[in-house]
Amino acid sequence: MAVGWKGMPEMHPVAGIRLGTTCAGIRVEGRRDLVIMEVEPGAVCAAVFTRNLFCAAPVLLAREHLALGSPRYLLINTGNANAGTGARGLADARTCCRRVAGLAGVPEEAVLPFSTGVIGEPLPVEKIVEALPAAMGALEPTGWTDAAYGIMTTDTVPKGASRRVTLDGTQVTVTGIAKGAGMIRPDMATMLAFVATDAPVEAALLQRCLEDAVNDSFNRITVDGDTSTNDACVLISTGRAPLSPITSVEDPRYPLLAGAVRSVCEQLAQAIVRDGEGATKFITIEVTGGCDERECLQVAYTIAHSPLVKTAFFASDPNWGRILAAIGRAGIPDLDIGALTVHLGGVSLVRDGGRDPDYREEAAQAVMDRDEIPIRIDLRRGTASARIWTCDLSHDYIRINAEYRT
């Protein structure tokens, strides 16, 4: 069970969006594994995708279709990533889009494909095509929670977030779902996340709004350091709220809406880490006092990816020497280890290059015994800072990933 999981929140529908979920039997019979998201005409769509060079066929095709116009349908399958599948994979993704287009009476390029699951195996096109009418028939404005279940793979809980903000006296909604538990170290995007709002936003500004939000949320989490081949995050503005379009960051409504989008993305990103494969701890790593954000992130990710640090957290063992070793190998030039400080929760671990003289193991142990643990490193050489979220490394991570294909 995910760390700190409190159940799905209330998912406010977004005017102009309907979702339908069904079981296509792609990998496991009877599991919800196929989702269609319908977008009303006139909506605007922003998206970011993985930077993994071996990006999946659906990522390539979604990029191609997005360049041709705004999408009307998003087709999402789990159980097969359609990645590492070469020319055949691309043809398979095209076939699926064409069949959705045929059922809906829209051009093929108005359908965006998204896949997640095993890499390197051919997409079972027939199973998907056969299940499309059922997914179309299930389309409902209230389909968000079902869809959150429908995009799960090794996730143990569905992930959703929903916010309402008032712009010029009109209430607008931002609602989103995400999936992901392993192969999580998004780079410019995330596993799969779909966010929509009825607030009208001009296309370029919507893209900026998404990129800013993703940069502080999905791009700040890691479970295992493995950037996926299929990461994608989509933000749709249906524009159905009775408001004039937001076209500039100077518009006083923009920061309100951007804040809601960021909040939804942050909650979804944290939900992915809380449900990280085998996770028993939710860890926030904050690095301050850096020369620039890049070096703060470098220190933070070196700690977050250290298997030794992660297993110590799993054991609730305040073996903070491993954090020190990770900082020391992070590759930061001219870092003065005599100046920096390290805190675990409120407990000072390190100063003057060694253990804080006031350190007491009982105090550190009390912090480690919690489910949610903050680490703070002050490099004390500049004003930049960064914050990321990660989880521990447990027996269940090994079990899940050793048994993944069985």
**Catalytically annotated residues:** 190
The minimum distance between CB 99 and its own copies, in angstroms, equals 22
Decide whether 94 or 240 has the Cβ nearer to its own copies: 94
Among 104, 106, 139, 308, which residue sits at the site for its own copies (rule: CB under 8 A)?
308
Question: Are residues 96 and 129 in contact, defined by beta-carbon separation less than 8 angstroms?
Answer: yes
* Residue 399 lies near its own copies (rule: CB under 8 A): yes
Stretch that binds its own copies, among 38-46, 156-164, 250-258, 321-329 (CB under 8 A): 321-329
By CB neighbour count within 10 A (0-12 exposed, 13-18 middle, 19+ buried), where does 144 fall? buried
CB closer to its own copies, 149 vs 320: 320
**51 is a site residue for its own copies (CB under 8 A):** yes
Span of 112-120, 237-245, 252-260, 379-387 interacting with its own copies by CB under 8 A: 112-120
Helix (H) or strand (E) holding 401: helix 395-402
Distance CA 21, CA 34 (A): 6
Which helix (H) or strand (E) segment holds residue 20: the answer is strand 17-22
Residue 360, interface with its own copies (CB under 8 A)?
A: no
State whether residue 3 is helix, strand or coil.
coil
Q: How far apart are the first and last CA of the chain?
A: 21
Q: How far is the CB of 380 from its own copies (least distance, A)?
A: 14
Q: Among 267, 259, 298, 265, which residue's Cα sits nearest to residue 385?
A: 298
Cα-Cα-Cα-Cα dihedral of 149, 153, 157, 161, to 10°?
-60
Q: How far is the CB of 182 from its own copies (least distance, A)?
A: 7
Q: Is 371 in the site for its own copies (CB under 8 A)?
A: no
CB 35 within 8 A of CB 135: yes
Count of CB atoms situated within 10 Å of the CB of 134: 15
With 0-12 / 13-18 / 19 or more C-beta atoms within 10 angstroms meaning exposed / middle / buried, residue 211 is middle
Selected binder of its own copies within 321, 345, 374, 382 (CB under 8 A): 321
Binding status of residue 332 toward its own copies by CB under 8 A = yes
Could you tell me the two tokens for 135?
């997914």
Candidates 40-48, 161-169, 171-179, 319-327; binding stretch for its own copies (CB under 8 A): 319-327
Between 66 and 91, whose beta carbon lies closer to its own copies? 91
Asked if 328 interacts with its own copies (CB under 8 A), we say yes
Identify the DSSP state of 245.
P
Residues contributing to the site for its own copies (CB under 8 A)? 51-55, 81, 83-89, 118-121, 182-183, 185, 187, 224-229, 305-308, 311-312, 314-315, 317, 319-322, 324-329, 332, 335, 337, 350, 352-355, 393-395, 397-399, 401-406
